[in-house]
Structure 1
Amino acid sequence: MAYTLAAPVVHEEIIQKSRFIAKAAPVASEEEALAFLQAHREPQATHNGYAYKLGNLYRFFDDGEPTGTAGKPILHAIQAQGLDRVVVLVVRYFGGVKLGAGGLVRAYGGVAAEALRRASKVPLMEWEEVRFVVPFPQVGRVHRLLASRSWTALEEYLAEGVRFHLRLPAEEKEAFLQELRDLTRGQVRWEG
């Protein structure tokens, strides 16, 4: 199961006189990731390297550091911790000591990884929507089933019964649908 961050996090380290500040946050879309980067970059800093991952979509940027020494290590830190829907920006203020390619990889990746380690994480849930109609005599049973799982559904009253529109965790969909079929004795009509 993949995880995302519960809340934004910031972590700062001084490495060979350079100041590295990692800023990470959960994001739901590429637009949200880009907005976070725009809002949190520090133009006065020497470099603003970043990476983000949203499912199969990922991007990274070195911002003037040698190729592969900033963005890629940040992305690796995200992937190594099994995270998704996450953006990480690492800001560097140059301190006068050159770190070399290996030192930069360790610094950017290490600061990003430490920020992510310190962050609270939550399971990343995929959601699905289902719509179904049950006759009026079965409505009470459906209400009890939904209440047992602490779920709520939108309801629409029709001539033949009630249409339920429900958003549920994808991993629980099949078990719920089977239980609903059993509970209503097959008197359920699926609408998608």
Structure 2
Amino acid sequence: MQTLAAPVHSELVIRKSRFLGCVQPVPDRAAALEHVAALRNEHPGAAHVCWALMAGGHSAAHDDGEPGGTAGRPMLEVLRRQELDGVLATVVRYFGGVKLGAGGLVRAYTEAVAQALLQGQQVLMQRRARAACAVPYDLEGWLRRQLAAHGAQLLSARHADEVLVEFSAPENDMAALRERLDAAGQGRLHWARQD
């Protein structure tokens, strides 16, 4: 499966409506929904913020008030045809006062995503593994720096008697990362689980 190396954008004006497209890599649905919420805040005057998601083999699409099936699903079909995963497509529409009709909307949303993808670099998607460990409070900062330095993504940190840190890393790198952390942590890390 392929994903995108970085976010890509497009801007179309069709019969006075402005369509701002973006396709970007995302790790999961939660991150996608956070991005959509941020877009709504960024564009309070927009009529619609439509989106489509392919992540982990799961898909979702949302028309955000456009007639059913005229925005999210066509955007999702573009992602499927490109065989992409781990990506979120969004299109912010500023209504220009001229109705486009169902066919016009499908073409506009499809084109906004397709135009953005023309600029994108597709890369092989890396499978990620998850792990969790507990560390004393005085090692939390060190552990966060180690994870960042080795390409791991911090998923959560819960503070109790110790700090329980959950993270993900490229599957091929997880065993070596655990060994490095064990050696540098001098027995003060306690592994909770590894998926």
For Structure 1 versus Structure 2, the TM-score category normalised by the shorter chain is 0.5 to 0.7
Q: CA RMSD in A?
A: 2.2
Aligned counterparts of 1:56 and 1:121: Cα–Cα separation in 2: 17
Q: Is the counterpart of residue 44 in structure 1 residue 45 in structure 2?
A: yes
Tell me what 1:103 maps to: 104
Q: Is the counterpart of residue 85 in structure 1 residue 106 in structure 2?
A: no
Tell me what 2:6 maps to: 7
Aligned counterparts of 1:107 and 1:7: Cα–Cα separation in 2: 23
Amino acid at match of 2:2: Y
Tell me what 1:32 maps to: 31
Give, in angstroms, the shift of residue 116 of structure 1.
1.7
Give the match's secondary structure for 1:43.
coil
Q: Using structure 2 for the length normalisation, give the TM-score.
A: 0.64
Q: Is the 8 A contact 1:78 1:116 kept in 2?
A: no
Aligned counterparts of 1:94 and 1:128: Cα–Cα separation in 2: 43
Give, in angstroms, the shift of residue 69 of structure 1.
0.2
Give, in angstroms, the shift of residue 56 of structure 1.
2.5
Distance 1:128 1:63, change over 3 A: closer
Give, in angstroms, the shift of residue 35 of structure 1.
1.1
For residues 59-138 of structure 1, the aligned pairs below 5 Å read 59-127=60-128
Aligned counterparts of 1:106 and 1:78: Cα–Cα separation in 2: 15
Amino acid at match of 1:109: T
Distance 1:11 1:96, change over 3 A: same
Deviations 1:19-54 (A, max 9, x none): 000022101111111111111232310111111111
Give, in angstroms, the shift of residue 121 of structure 1.
1.7
Larger Rg computed on CA atoms: 1
Unaligned runs of 5+ in 2: 131-172, 184-194
Give, in angstroms, the shift of residue 57 of structure 1.
1.4
Give the match's secondary structure for 1:77.
helix
Give, in angstroms, the shift of residue 128 of structure 1.
6.4
Give the match's secondary structure for 2:64.
coil
Amino acid at match of 2:95: F
Give, in angstroms, the shift of residue 109 of structure 1.
0.9
Tell me what 1:175 maps to: none
Distance 1:128 1:39, change over 3 A: closer
Distance 1:79 1:44, change over 3 A: same
Give the match's secondary structure for 1:52.
strand
**Identical aligned residues as a percent:** 46
Amino acid at match of 1:106: R
For this pair of structures, how many residues does the alignment match? 136
Deviations 1:134-188 (A, max 9, x none): xxxxxxxxxxxxxxxxx7822679xxxxxxxxxxxxxxxxxxxxxxxxxxxxxxx
Amino acid at match of 2:116: A
Q: Is the 8 A contact 1:70 1:105 kept in 2?
A: yes
Unaligned runs of 5+ in 1: 130-150, 158-191
Give, in angstroms, the shift of residue 74 of structure 1.
0.8
Aligned counterparts of 1:36 and 1:119: Cα–Cα separation in 2: 19
Give, in angstroms, the shift of residue 127 of structure 1.
5.0
